[in-house]
Each structure stands twice: as structure tokens, then as C-alpha cells.
Amino acid sequence: MQKIAVFGGTFNPIHNGHMHLAKRFAELIGAQRVLLIPTYQPPHKHASNLAPGRDRLAMCRLACEGNIFEVSDIELKRRGRSYTADTLRELKKRNPDSELYLITGEDMFLTLKHWYEAETIFRLAVLCAAPRGGDGLRSLLDYAEILEREGAKTFIRNIEYLPISSTMIRNAVQDGKSISELVPPKVADYIAENKLYLEQENE
């Protein structure tokens, strides 16, 4: 059975931490495909200084390397709130014979019980997460046990955490600092050429 790793994010912008997580999980799962899926409207937060969907999509495409990474515009095309349950349902319809693995970081994983139609997510994908280090692994394993009691399948691994965030990158751009260590080179060029993230953040 083909294994597809599904990695959704606001990706504002996508960075080396995201790519490292996705690559390591793809290896550990043995995934044949990795789908990066930028959200249209993140369902769980007000995203400050959100770059247009077409830019976040373009940066995801530029971040892809090798031949297993793909970018899906499924959520940008659907518009509205980007509920993961809707996305997984559509992906399962398009790939009925594939096994879906949903990749998340620590914070998102620890809220999964409260996501829209959580039981659909539990039914359609194996839930993958890695900690930010320290005590994170214990919290993830404890929460995974709770989710498994509700019918979920989980895959928790202690992948090295690269301390990078999208906020850090947007702040660096505003401060005129280099982001070359934080994002893939083509993404850094795209941000500069398109003058992204120059405005002041208003939280």
C-alpha cells in the first residue's frame, strides 16, 4: 500500500524546521509521497501578517527537493476555514488505496482531540508528531495514549528539533537580518524579490 505523508501548515513562510520534520518523518514512515498543504484560512488562529496564498504556495514549491515532495493547493482552492478533516476526506477519495500519515509538531498534536470532526481525522490518518525537546516526548506519548483510546493510530518519534519559527523569519526580514540559515535558498530569494514580510506585525 502506498504511504502518503500529509503535512499541512500556515507556512507563513515555510522554513528549514518544517522541511526537516517532513523529511525525517517521510524516511521513518517509508512514505512514497509527501504532500505539503498550505492552509487558506487556518482554523485555529488569527495569522498575523499572512502572505497571500499564492506566495505561500510558491514558497512551498520552491522548498521541495527530491522527487517525493509535492505541494497541494487543495485547501487554497477550497477557501474558507481549512479543516484537516475535509482535506483528509478529499485525499482519501483521490487515493483510496493509500495510507495517509498526518504530520504535526508538538503544539498542534496536543490539541487534536478538539479539532473539527476529530473522529474523521482519527479514522483516515495515522497521526505523527515529534517533540520540541525536553519533556515534550512524554507529553506526546501520554496524549497519544488518550487518542488511541478514541480509535486513533499514532506514530510519535523523537526527531531532532531545529529551533526555527515562521515568526522568527518575518521578524528577521523586518529587521533587515539574513534569513539564509533559516529557509531554503530559493525561498529566501522569493521573499526578497517579492518584498514579503516588510510591514510591521500587528498582533
Interface residues with ligand NAP (CB under 6 A)?
Answer: 8-11, 17-18, 21, 39, 42-44, 82-84, 104-108, 115-116, 161-162, 164-166
Grid cell digits, residue 127: 497521526
Which residue of the chain is nearest ligand NAP when measured via CB?
A: 105
In the complex, the smallest distance separating the C-beta of residue 120 from ligand NAP, rounded to whole angstroms, is 10
Pairing of strands 125-129, 98-104: parallel
Query: Which conformational region is residue 13 in: left (phi greater than 0), alpha (psi within -120 to 50 degrees), or beta?
Result: beta
Residue 90: C-alpha distances to residues 75, 86, 100, 121, 180 (Å): 10, 6, 11, 12, 36
In the complex, the smallest distance separating the C-beta of residue 44 from ligand NAP, rounded to whole angstroms, is 4
| Closer residue to ligand NAP in complex, CB, 115/155 | 115
| Closer residue to ligand NAP in complex, CB, 78/186 | 78
| Closer residue to ligand NAP in complex, CB, 1/139 | 139
Query: What does residue 111 show for φ and ψ, rounded to 5 degrees?
Result: -115, 0
